[in-house]
Amino acid sequence: MDLRETPEQQLLRSSAAALAAKYGHEYLQEKIRTGGKTTELWREAGEAGYLGVAVPAEYGGGGAGMVELAIVAEEIAAAGCPLLLIVVSPAIAATVIATSGTPEQKERWLPRFADGSVKMSFAITEPDAGSNSHRITTTARRDPAGGWRLSGHKYYISGVDETDATLVVARLEGAQGALRPAMFIVPTDAPGYTYTPIDMAFTAAEKQFTVFFDDVHLPDDALVGGEEAGLSALFAGLNPERITVAAYSNGLARFALGKGIAYAKERSVWGTPIGAHQAIAHPLAKAHIEVELARMATMRAAWLYDSGDQVAAGEAANIAKYAAAEAAINAVDAAVQAHGGNGMSVEYGVGPLIGAVRSARIAPVSREMILNYLSQHTLGLPKSY
């Protein structure tokens, strides 16, 4: 692995950063204040090819990989206007369909993922299942008249109100009542599909929802990859999810650090910039080290994924997600502390990041479950749960 980016990757990074800089943190905060959506940024990023950079070229995408999508996610976040749906739509849904979908599903969906004209949410979490996807109860059964019937509910599903369809993880109910995992593409306007917002403690442009499937009828081709695809189709999207969450966190950390460093240079007390004091400088320098380590871990995970080594990529993606979440929390904390009281105001742009980066320690998989995974699969310790 060469840690130096190719000229094409460097150009992608600089051009994605330039596009995001046209919008910036004030754009995001205005959308949050008014309840608006980041439609304009999403549309322009899609038209420029950034959202579809990892979609296969034969379907109109960039034909690149997770390294490039991570670059896009990081740079947009680093401008202060992160797009959470990059994690959900291009990283999870598009990857699952590209790797496990039928030819017809690929033809229908991938060109629109490539230009950003379609958004797809992802629904796996349930109240009683938590991180154990084997305990989900949302069930799909064959309809004698044709197609499928989907029943159940999910919660903490991002951006349902601005997506065209939801990729739903369910269980197939067999003739003897046996249950098997599968994924279905469910249009968000399908009869029987309803959702209610969850009142969150932190602010973001993308809302969280509880979704309900009340005997939703789906056509045969709503099933992704066939009845036997199961866990292999699901796992195709989980490593990209962790990698892009890490990139998202790295970008927010860089944004926060930039704010903290600039303030430490400009703010003077008794004629001396506060950045001259080690009590301010050292936490910022330490946070910078942690962020750079997390960025390297993220690029390594993306490179392993693109190389096809899924076992190594699974470990690396979990490490990257863990490292990036911790680094982002510490970076935001250092930036807030450098600002003093101003760090808690909306005006200075770092206080609102507290909830955004803190949530990455919990979702899409908790820090504790990552430690469980590494303890068992990397260190060879007995399973603890």
CATH number, domain with residue 88 = 1.10.540.10
Which pLDDT belongs to residue 175?
Answer: 38
CATH code, domain carrying 202: 2.40.110.10
pLDDT band at 331 (very low <50, low <70, confident <90, very high): very high
List the single range of 128-132, 257-261, 267-271 with lowest mean pLDDT: 128-132
What's phi and psi for 247, nearest 5 deg? -65, -40
Domain termination site, one of 119, 145, 176? 119
The verdict on 128 and 11 lying in the same domain is no
* Residue where a domain stops, chosen among 178, 209, 228: 228
The pairing of strands 193-197 and 208-218 is antiparallel
- What's the mean per-residue pLDDT of the chain? 94
Specify whether 238 is located in the same domain as 214: no
Q: What is the pLDDT of residues 336-366, one digit of tens each?
A: 999 999 999 989 999 999 999 999 999 999 9
Whether residues 140 and 272 fall in one domain: no
pLDDT at position 131, please?
Answer: 64
Q: What is the pTM of this model?
A: 0.96
Residue 19 within any structural domain of the chain: yes
Residues 215, 334 within the same domain: no
Together in a domain, 365 and 239: yes
Does pLDDT of 176 surpass 50?
A: no
Residues 205 and 235 reside in one and the same domain? no
Domain count, the chain: 3
Is residue 384 domain-resident? no
Determine, yes or no, domain membership for 54.
yes
- The one-letter code for the residue type at 28 is L
pLDDT digits (tens, 9 = 90+) for 17-68: 999 999 999 999 999 999 999 999 999 999 999 999 999 999 999 999 999 9
For the packed helices 278-307 and 66-78, what is the interaxial angle rounded to 10 degrees?
150
Which of 228, 244, 276 is the C-terminal boundary of a domain? 228
Q: Look up the domain containing 352 and give its range.
A: 231-378
Is 242 inside any structural domain? yes
**Residue 1, domain member (yes or no):** no
Hey, what are 310's tokens? 């899924």
Looking at residue 349, its pLDDT comes to: 93
Q: 245 with 365, same domain?
A: yes
Query: How much of the chain, in percent, has pLDDT values that exceed 90?
Result: 88
Q: Are 64 and 151 in a shared domain?
A: no
Q: 196 exposed, middle or buried (CB, 10 Å; 0-12, 13-18, 19+)?
A: exposed
CA 203 vs CA 28, 43, 335, 353: distances in Å:
10, 22, 19, 9
* Same-domain check for residues 281 and 368: yes
**pLDDT, mean of residues 167-181:** 73
Q: Report whether 218 contacts 191 (CB < 8 A).
A: no
- Determine the average pLDDT of the residues in 211-230: 90
pLDDT above 70 covers a percentage of the chain that reads 97
